[in-house]
Chain A
Amino acid sequence: EVQLVESGGGLVQPGGSLRLSCAASEFTFSSFRMSWVRQAPGKGLEWVASIKEDGSERYYVDSVKGRFIISRDNARNSLYLQMNSLRDDDTAVYYCARGSNNWRCWGQGTLVTISS
């Protein structure tokens, strides 16, 4: 069964950094674009970033450009999101999702809380 497992969430102070990871299994990771989608508490879904299969192209929502970096390690079947200069409004559950168009496979999500 296709599986995506996020980790790395937690409580961070404003201005701090955090690195999220997503471990993929039971599919050919290197053949799929990958994305991060987040959901603030009680709010709707927001696409954050996507990365091409070989990592050659990356796309970001404007609100995270220059602060977040999406990356991947195809040898380790892993996706990452380096989050810097974190702000209160980055507080959300962050989901790893397979693809960049139709998200059929999602992780369980990891909660990131930005608070002093």
Chain B
Amino acid sequence: DIQMTQSPSSLSASVGDRVTITCQASQGISNYLNWYQQKPGKAPKLLIYDASNLETGVPSRFSGSGSGTDFTFTITSLLPEDIATYYCQQYYNFPRTFGGGTKVEIK
């Protein structure tokens, strides 16, 4: 199984800050990686697919990059509504696996 190591597990940042989350795969997964946002009590929401493609309707302050084993998710200017937990997820093969999540809070 492909292990997805996501870091940090939590972070606290100020409104307007740049936030970066990393995700490392235990083996190469090309660009078969997605990023999701989940708010408490809600289903996850797809933000980034194929490592760097912004899902329709998602604000451009969200972005993703990377290929192979190392991936980065960035919020260029944090807003209060971005408070959530973010997950990476690989679909290179089965079983599909998620990173452990990054909880983003406002400082």
Binding site for B on A (CB under 8 A): 35, 37, 44-47, 50, 59-62, 95, 100-104, 106-109
Contacts and interface: CB of A to CB of B under 8 A. Distances in A.
- Mostly, the B contact residues are loop
Interface of B: 1, 32, 34, 36, 38, 43-46, 49-50, 55, 87, 89, 91, 94-101
A13 to B, nearest CB: 26
Given A46-B98, A47-B96, A47-B97, A100 B91 contact: yes
Given A44-B101, A50-B96, A102 B91 contact: yes
A75 to B, nearest CB: 26
B76 to A, nearest CB: 23
B95 A59 contact: yes
Contacts of A50: 94, 96
Contacts of A102: 34, 46, 49-50, 91
Contact of A100 (B44, B96, B99): B96
A56 to B, nearest CB: 15
Contacts of A106: 43-45
B53 to A, nearest CB: 9
